[in-house]
Amino acid sequence: MQVFKKFIKIQKKYMVSATIFFVMGILLIFMNYALRNSSTATKDFHSMQLPIHLTDEDQSEVSKIFVEYLKENHKVDEAEQSSEVLAGRLYYQDIVADVTIPKGFGEAFISGETPDSPQVKSVVDEGIAHGHMINLQFMAFLNSMYAFYHSGMSLADAAEQAKATQTSENYVTIVEEVKDDGSTISRSKESMSQILFLCVPYVIMSCVFTSLLPAVMSFNETEKKNRENASGFPVWKRSLTLALGSLLFALAFYLCYMVCLAIFCGSESFSGMWMLMALNLLVFTISTVMMMAFLSVLPLKASVLSSIVSTVVSLGFAFLGGIFVPLSYLGDGVKMIGRFLPTYWYSMSLDALNGGKGFTDVLPYFGLELLFGVACLAIALALSKASERAH
Amino acid sequence: MFLRVLIYRLKKTVHDRETMLWALLFPIVLGTFFNLALGSVYSHEMVDTKQVALVGGSEENTKFVKSTLESIQTGDGTPMFEVLLATTDDEKKLLFEDEIAGVMDISDMTNIQLRVANDDVSQNVLAHVIGIFRRNAVLTQEAMKNPQAAAQIMELMSQDVELVKQVNAAGENKDPYVSYMYALLAMVCIMAANAGLAVPVDAQANISQQGARISVSPVNHKMYELSCLVAAALFQILCTMIGLFMVLVVFRVNMGTSTGLLILICVLGTLLGCSLGFALGHISNLSKKTKEAIALLFVTFGGFLSGLMAVQVKMMIEVNCPIINRINPSAIIHDAFYSLNMFGVGEMFYRSIFTMIVMTIVLTVIGLLMSGRRSYASI
């Protein structure tokens, strides 16, 4: 109990760093929640809804129809923004296109095209597929409406007919892959649970490394260790208390994040998939504590470990393990390295669970996450023993 | 005396091998991780040729649809689709094993159907192309209903009306994932705050023996600290330069501007980081650990706000609360890199450079002013 009390006392000194990372974690969850739509498994084809910025300088009947069409099919932002901000939003892919309907466009549309007619200006990154897709959609709709209108239809009828021909849900079908047992394989997009669960390991690692690691390391200082060795308190009891204390704090972080995830995941919370994702995070948290035990026995300064090394480990693991970048985007070489990291198996588990797989399918992944932790713990114990013998 | 203190401080830094090694390794290791993970992300988002299968069409229709699909090209002339001719029996194999974009059933040209395995970009492009075929089908029906207008309608179907003008977005290098490298370099610059923080902490009589000796020595305290700060800055600039070298030469990242300007930003950014730590270290009523925690806040949380963990964060702040980006040192350094890539040397670049210089001067002056106001009542 004395060791535990001291551990808590030392731990309190590092609560500022832990709070910083904890708040950062909440912000990451909130940001991902705000940025991405919940796109749960669906059997129907849905036209891609993309974020675009729109400026209607024309305010004509034609431009209003086009604006209405865009609003029905995309996430349209009409807020007035400087060209600097809009260029930045395009660069960071916060928007896919910056569309401007110039003054006189509607008039030229009605009277028929001339070489110097005003055109809808669409600024996109021409290198990416989304840019091409959205421009093709604009052209398809406007050209269809133009053709229908000039073939003799009224503007309203032309717009309706153009919308009807462009409503892909009417003529596109998603074919489901059928497994040998007759069940179907869902090729669904990321669910909200997967998106939100994916960003937590980084903050769990950061919280553990910046707050628990220095506290545990302070018990490894030579003078303190010598005093403890001279006392009648068994070494194994001290180690066990420290391990349980660390685990307790890590679980406290875990529980706090679980509450947040339960709130943000909405209707997906407490579903079978969500519960397994929660179990996945729990396994990862335990593995992180074991990893922390390994770092604590490294012969490095506490300040170096808790700032530089922990930043390198947490960010490195997050990037190489598919936390910040989807696994499908990583090259084969990176994936090969990633296989040795718990973050990789964590991401793999989330992918599998989102794809409809069950507990038995992801159990090996959980095992590999835990195996990494156990290996770290074993090395930590061996190093600790070796250093004690040398001492 | 200034030079003597500077040399001894540099020696002290070099002798602390562990800290030195990690400070030098940090940009190398993290940069390598970033490069490995992010190097190919943008290429995944770029347009590449996808396969599409045509089934059920007559020879004439197949030929017409095939030529139409093959004529769709990107700006650089890359065809968007490669057309395969297949039968309905091959459909599932093509969709699930060969992972083609989709299967177009053209048995009825007035009602073309598309079957896909998922709803991604290529499938959406195909859907819009089919929309154009369906428009032509409607127009043909209109022409049949109204034979007098048939010629005009046929002309409309073949007419290539240019109602949309596509403009390419700004930026020398449009890969948004390069901004992770900006954020990394900004983080390396701001990490110099730890070295800046160590200067006043080491000189504090109630914290270290060295500080006590310095306090009783006849050396000018302000000059001593300034000299130590210069030494710390010199070493940190070396660390940042190694990071920049890795990014430019080893990883061959296109930062979108000349090396000279990048070096200027790195030097100013590191000086800003050092001065930030220096000013922070002089907040005398706070403990060393609290000061370190505040430095960590600037390094990590500032990095987070400047897009180190997710590139979209900085833009979200720019749209909703731009003042944070104007005062967050990491975001200011990040902005300087970003502005050069996007707009070249211009208003935004000058604003960032000016802010960095002003902040460095102000923070250093604050630190120096506070350095003379310390008293140790308990001694």
Residue A39's pLDDT is: 46
Indicate whether B215 and B344 sit together in one domain: yes
Say how far residue A128 (Cα) sits from the centre of its chain.
21
Residue B279's pLDDT is: 92
B296 with A210: Cβ contact below 8 A: yes
When pLDDT is cut at 50, 70 and 90, the band that residue A345 belongs to is very high
A151 with B309: Cβ contact below 8 A: no
Mean pLDDT value of segment A144-172: 88
B100 touches chain A (CB under 8 A): no
Among A136, A151, A168, beta carbon nearest to B156:
A151
B123 with A172: Cβ contact below 8 A: yes
Report d(CA B266, CA B130) in Å as an integer: 51
Neighboring chain B residues of A13 at a CB cutoff of 8 Å:
289
Choose the final residue of a domain: B131, B158, B185: B158
Q: Which CATH number fits domain A51-173: 3.40.50.1100, 3.40.50.300, 3.40.50.720, 3.40.1710.10?
A: 3.40.1710.10
Indicate whether B27 and B127 sit together in one domain: no
Share of chain A above pLDDT 90, in %: 28
When pLDDT is cut at 50, 70 and 90, the band that residue B361 belongs to is very high
Closest Cα in chain B, distance from residue A234 (Å): 31
Higher pLDDT, A220 or A354: A354
Residue A182's pLDDT is: 62
Report d(CA B48, CA B70) in Å as an integer: 13
Indicate whether B188 and B309 sit together in one domain: yes
Are the C-beta atoms of residues B163 and A137 closer than 8 Å to each other? no
Residue B99: its H or E element: none
B377 located within any domain: no
Going by C-beta distance under 8 Å and a sequence separation of 6 or more, which residues neighbour residue A360? none
- With the C-alpha atoms ordered A22, A28, A29, A34, is the resulting torsion angle positive or negative? positive
A88 with B342: Cβ contact below 8 A: yes
Indicate whether B25 and B154 sit together in one domain: no
Q: How many domains does chain B have?
A: 2
Radius of gyration of chain A (CA): 28
Mean pLDDT value of segment B206-217: 80
Are the C-beta atoms of residues A313 and B22 closer than 8 Å to each other? no
**The two three-digit tokens of residue B45, written as one number:** 């988002």
Choose the final residue of a domain: B101, B125, B158: B158
Report d(CA A161, CA A158) in Å as an integer: 5
B168 located within any domain: no
pLDDT digits (tens, 9 = 90+) for B9-42: 888 888 877 777 777 888 888 888 888 888 777 8
B114 with A171: Cβ contact below 8 A: yes
Instruction: Look at residue A344 and give its three-state secondary structure.
Output: helix
Mean pLDDT value of segment B172-195: 88
Beta carbons within 10 angstroms of residue B126's beta carbon: 26
Report the residue of chain B nearest A320, measured CA to CA: B37
Residue B352's pLDDT is: 94
B170 with A162: Cβ contact below 8 A: no
Residue B51: its H or E element: strand B50-55
Report d(CA A300, CA A323) in Å as an integer: 27
Indicate whether B16 and B64 sit together in one domain: no
Instruction: Look at residue B215 and give its three-state secondary structure.
Output: helix
Predicted model pTM = 0.80
When pLDDT is cut at 50, 70 and 90, the band that residue B363 belongs to is very high
Report d(CA B293, CA A15) in Å as an integer: 9
A133 with B289: Cβ contact below 8 A: no
Neighboring chain B residues of A115 at a CB cutoff of 8 Å:
none
pLDDT digits (tens, 9 = 90+) for A244-291: 888 998 999 999 999 999 998 888 888 888 999 999 999 999 999 999
Indicate whether B211 and B102 sit together in one domain: no
B283 touches chain A (CB under 8 A): no
Indicate whether B154 and B178 sit together in one domain: no
Choose the final residue of a domain: B100, B131, B158: B158
Indicate whether B24 and B65 sit together in one domain: no
Where do the DSSP E strands lie in A79-204? 97-101, 120-124, 172-174, 177-178, 184-185
- Whether B64 shows a pLDDT value over 50: the answer reads yes
Is the reported ipTM for this assembly greater than 0.85?
no
Residue B219's pLDDT is: 82
Among B22, B46, B294, beta carbon nearest to A309:
B22
B119 with A174: Cβ contact below 8 A: yes
Instruction: Kindly list the domain boundaries of chain A, sorted by start residue.
Output: 2-39+187-390, 51-173
User: Which residues span the domain enclosing B63?
Assistant: 49-158
B92 touches chain A (CB under 8 A): yes
When pLDDT is cut at 50, 70 and 90, the band that residue A364 belongs to is very high
| Chains A & B: contacts with CB separation below 8 Å | 312
When pLDDT is cut at 50, 70 and 90, the band that residue B378 belongs to is low
Indicate whether B82 and B201 sit together in one domain: no
B140 located within any domain: yes
B125 with A133: Cβ contact below 8 A: yes
Are the C-beta atoms of residues B288 and B208 closer than 8 Å to each other? no
Report chain A's mean pLDDT, rounded to a whole number: 84
When pLDDT is cut at 50, 70 and 90, the band that residue A36 belongs to is low
- Name residues 224-263 of chain B within 8 A of A (Cβ): none
Mutate to test the interface with A, among B88, B300, B328, B351 (most CBs of A within 10 A): B300
Indicate whether B31 and B53 sit together in one domain: no
Going by C-beta distance under 8 Å and a sequence separation of 6 or more, which residues neighbour residue A187? A174, A176, A177, A355, B117, B118
Report the number of secondary-structure helices (H) and strands (E) in chain A: 18, 7
Closest Cα in chain B, distance from residue A8 (Å): 16
Report d(CA B239, CA B236) in Å as an integer: 5
Indicate whether B17 and B56 sit together in one domain: no
Mutate to test the interface with B, among A93, A119, A317 (most CBs of B within 10 A): A93
Burial A43-72 (b: 16+ CB within 10 A, else e): eebebbebebbbbbebebebbebbbebbee
Report d(CA A101, CA A108) in Å as an integer: 12
Neighboring chain A residues of B125 at a CB cutoff of 8 Å:
129, 132-133, 136
Residue B82: its H or E element: strand B81-85
B125 with A132: Cβ contact below 8 A: yes
Indicate whether B199 and B302 sit together in one domain: yes
Q: State the first-to-last Cα distance of chain B, in angstroms, to the nearest integer.
A: 27
Output the domain CATH number for residue B55.
3.40.190.10
Neighboring chain B residues of A329 at a CB cutoff of 8 Å:
40-41, 44
